[in-house]
Amino acid sequence: MSKRILIVGGGTAGWLTAGYLARRLSADLPGGVSIQLVESSEIGILGVGEGTFPTIRQTLATIGVSEVDLIRKCGASFKQGAKFAHWRFTPGTAGPDHYTHPFQIAPSDDGLDLLPYWLLGHGGTANWDEVCSPQKKAADAHRAPKLPSHPDYVAPLNYAFHFDAVALAALLRDKAVEHGVSHLVDRVTEVIIGDDGAIAGVDTEQSGRLTADLYIDCSGFRAELIGKALGIPYRSCRDVLFCDTALALQVPYRSAQEPIVSYTVATAQEAGWMWDIGLDRRRGIGHVFSSAHTDDTRAEELLRAYVGPAGADHDVRKIRFEAGYREINWHKNCVAIGLSSGFFEPLEATGIVFAEVAAGMVANLFPWGGDWETSARQFNANMLRRYDRARDFIKLHYCISERRDSDFWHDNVAAASIPDSLHELLERWRFRPPTEIDIDSNVDIFTEASWQYVLYGMGWKTDLSARAGAYRYATDARRAFAEIDRQAAFAVANLPSNRQLIDYARQRP
């Protein structure tokens, strides 16, 4: 008999997992794994989560979603990174204050690592994000990462997407069903635990008991299986990442020709930050804040001041969350994917990428022979390290800031709020920049390039003076910086705008 997977939950995590596993485990073929997804129409999905990571391209390609469908059905736009405003200094106390974390990494085709040369001043006075790749200038000019002639998911500049999360879940559902996933709309009322401590089945309101070999908990913050039924604890990170509430709203563009920003813009606030995501026809904007440092009224006041008159008639939606994750995400025959597994504030869009990674691992570790434990150990160790590192990376944005305009910012630099693992990384990078030896490329989502963008964007000082003499290729480095600048000018002159490329995809026959 073929193996069976039951996925509980039909949000982004549930349908992404279903669609991906259907392709990787051949749900529509004899001998493949049969996959069923049950979701409750009353509970509904969270429906936020509009910014993604470049890995989404491969994931969507595997699921069989075309770029044109993504643009037409989910209002997608091209995302080339994140832009951070007012993170470094208290507003009004210093000059222009923003930096970017683009997806493109510095070229090192000829083996020359440009970063030390920039740290030693050979890149001029511009910030690292600007000198090391053409992407910042191109994205600042609202250019798309590619030409209309580039095939799906291929581009000269690295990119991901912004999209409408509710529409994406529907598109993923259609693809998953097309590839053999069976879809049941019902509510899970009870999870049955067998004598061996594994899940023996789930009872539903109308369809009776559902059973499977592997149960995947995509039930969101409710964590019906992994949390409520199996009692696997959630490790809170509130002592590190203070934000616990989001207020969100959607507003139309002022005009049909208003440029679509190719970044997620994250603007720091007195007790948190705001996201601003441009889709094709609207912007999604939200204020993420710490309820211990401000209240809903003040948070909404700031959000409405940011949005301006465009938001006047639009309601604000409030979402509470607790930053954290489970140390065990695969227990016996149950795996948690999505919000049931863990969640960090969406500062670096870690939500969906964690679901992508977890689905990929389930496909690779699927216990065909029935040995759950070996798969579980590998899965858990891998996810734990990933969560730890992502938590540190997000905390980095706060803990090296020079903002001191509120208790929130004071508390964020308190040594006790910085994990030891992050203290250790910062110690390493006083006298050398982050390199690949700091990263486990099989596990870490954020490479050394990401750490470099945030560190140096925030003004971190890595002192290379003691070994300045060892960097003998300053002339080559300056030439490489000039070449990148030339490429940036070329990209700005030749790439279509984000909006033009989207319009082109919409109109393509």
Active-site residue list: 79
Binds ligand FAD by CB under 6 A, chosen from 352, 383, 396, 425: 352
339 lines the binding site for ligand FAD (CB under 6 A): yes
10 lines the binding site for ligand FAD (CB under 6 A): yes
Q: Which is nearer to ligand FAD, 320 or 472 (CB)?
A: 320
* Residue 194: how many other CB atoms lie within 10 Å: 11
Binds ligand FAD by CB under 6 A, chosen from 307, 349, 396, 455: 349
Give the helix, strand, coil percentages of the chain, each rounded to 5.
Answer: 40, 20, 40
Binds ligand FAD by CB under 6 A, chosen from 11, 180, 272, 360: 11
Per-residue x/- marks for ligand FAD, 183-202, CB under 6 A?
A: ----xx--------------
119 lines the binding site for ligand FAD (CB under 6 A): no
Residues 6+ apart with CB under 8 A from 374: 367
Q: How far apart are CA 458 and CA 436, in angstroms?
A: 20
Kindly report the three-state secondary structure assignment for every residue of 33-70: CEEEEEECCCCCCCCCCCECCCHHHHHHHHHCCCHHHH
For 500, counting Cβ atoms within 10 Å of its Cβ (0-12 exposed, 13-18 middle, 19+ buried), the class is middle
Q: Which is nearer to ligand FAD, 25 or 339 (CB)?
A: 339
Q: Which is nearer to ligand FAD, 44 or 308 (CB)?
A: 44
Tokens of 453: 């963008």
Tokens of 296: 């809903």
457 lines the binding site for ligand FAD (CB under 6 A): no
In angstroms, the Cα distances linking 364 to 24, 378, 424 are 9, 11, 32
Helical spans, DSSP H, in 44-181 = 55-63, 67-74, 115-119, 128-131, 135-140, 165-178
224 lines the binding site for ligand FAD (CB under 6 A): yes
Q: How far apart are CA 33 and CA 359, in angstroms?
A: 14
Q: How far is the CB of 391 from ligand FAD (least distance, A)?
A: 15
Q: How far is the CB of 321 from ligand FAD (least distance, A)?
A: 5
Q: Which is nearer to ligand FAD, 319 or 464 (CB)?
A: 319
Q: Which is nearer to ligand FAD, 97 or 164 (CB)?
A: 164
Cβ–Cβ under 8 Å, residues 409 and 272:
no
45 lines the binding site for ligand FAD (CB under 6 A): yes
98 lines the binding site for ligand FAD (CB under 6 A): no
Q: How far is the CB of 18 from ligand FAD (least distance, A)?
A: 11
Q: Residue 465, SS3?
A: helix
Interface ranges with ligand FAD (CB under 6 A):
8-14, 38-40, 43-46, 48-52, 165, 187-188, 218-220, 222, 224, 246, 286, 319, 321, 338-339, 346, 349, 351-352
